[in-house]
Amino acid sequence: MKLINTVLFASVFAAQAQAADWQALPETAPAPADNPTTAAKVELGKMLYMDPRFSSTGTVSCNSCHNVMEGGDDSRSVSMGVHGKTGGRNAPTVWNAAFHGVQFWDGRAPLLEDQAKGPVANPVEMGMEDVETAMDRVRKIPGYKPYFDKAFGENSMTVDNAAKAVAAFERTLITPNSAYDKYVKGDKKAMSEQQVRGMEKFAATGCTACHSGPAFNGPQKLGEGFYSKFPTFADNAYASKYKFADDKGREEVTGKAADRNMFRVATLRNITDTAPYFHNGSVNDLGEAVRVMAKTQLNQDLSDADVADIVAFLGALTGEYPEITMPRLPATAGTSIVAD
């Protein structure tokens, strides 16, 4: 019976995959109606994103764990926050995060605006007592007021507006025009023969059942999550070796046993630049990650040739990073942000 179920499971995935709808990445990201993206918000949001003064030690900014000068992550298995404390999960890339319906591995933040508030008051990440205390630090820096006024109007230095500005900046972090994008738009020379072969094997194996759509993270709607159980097949060496099931996943948010080991499906965009992989950052090699996914999610063992082809295809998903210039931050004159 187990063998029959496995064969049926794989067949369903393969059938879905054969009808894969290959889509290019849009050059603009969706935004909620109450926070349309404007240049003034983006400018302010980038400043706040880069500023470490809103952490308890004055040492950790959003960019510390989601480095936009690189792959949008921190290249660590798990991130390090204030006082050298480390969390339990890998920092997902901020590049193309605007194409996720929800934020965080467990989907606990519906929108980027909600996500922006979370790390500030997390005792392991930025370590502030609460987000309002962090906002008080912003208000005490005179140079920030003109930027808030420009973006939101007078008397607008609020937590919600700061979060809206950061979210607006993050919605500009898009990497279109990858070799894959050019290929699906009609340039059949944009990808190599091996990448095309890998694209076909990626679909035939069943990967597109979850990793579909323009960001390769499944169907997305703002505020609604797309999740998958990981590992789906736990009776194998990979699940044991990398301890994937130790993290309860979305169950920690909902308290529901049905959500155990459920995680938001990750984007595969720029995946060659975002190692280590998985929610616990346990795998460094992309080829190994492909083998892991095939076995734990589809109960399939891939040949070395298939792995090499799929890895080549994944390399075609790395797009063009826009130039990011570091902002000039308002000075903190005549005071220390950290109490003596």
Could you state, in order of their start, the residue ranges of all structural domains in the chain? 2-27+175-315, 39-170
User: Exposed/middle/buried for 251, CB within 10 Å: 0-12, 13-18, 19+?
Assistant: middle
Q: Which residue has the tokens 């984007």?
A: 267
Average pLDDT, the chain: 94
The per-residue pLDDT for range 171-191, each reduced to its tens digit, is 999 999 999 999 999 999 999
- Tell me how far apart the alpha carbons of residues 97 and 73 are, in angstroms, rounded to a whole number: 11
The per-residue pLDDT for range 101-143, each reduced to its tens digit, is 999 999 999 999 999 999 999 999 999 999 999 999 999 999 9
**Inter-axis angle of helices 2-18 and 286-298, to 10 degrees?**
120
Sign of the CA dihedral running 329, 135, 127, 244: negative
- Tell me how far apart the alpha carbons of residues 4 and 202 are, in angstroms, rounded to a whole number: 23
Catalytic residues: 125
- The architecture CATH gives domain 39-170: Orthogonal Bundle (1.10)
pLDDT value, residue 9: 44
Looking at domain 2-27+175-315, its CATH class is mainly alpha
Contact 82, 59 (CB under 8 A): yes
pLDDT value, residue 337: 80
Buried b / exposed e along 289-298 (16+ C-beta atoms within 10 A): bbbbbbbbbb
Confidence of residue 231 (pLDDT cuts 50, 70, 90): very high
pTM score of the predicted model: 0.92
Amino acid at residue number 228: S
Confidence of residue 339 (pLDDT cuts 50, 70, 90): low
2-27+175-315 and 39-170 agree in CATH topology: yes
pLDDT value, residue 13: 44
Out of 3-17, 43-57, 85-99, 262-276, least confident range? 3-17
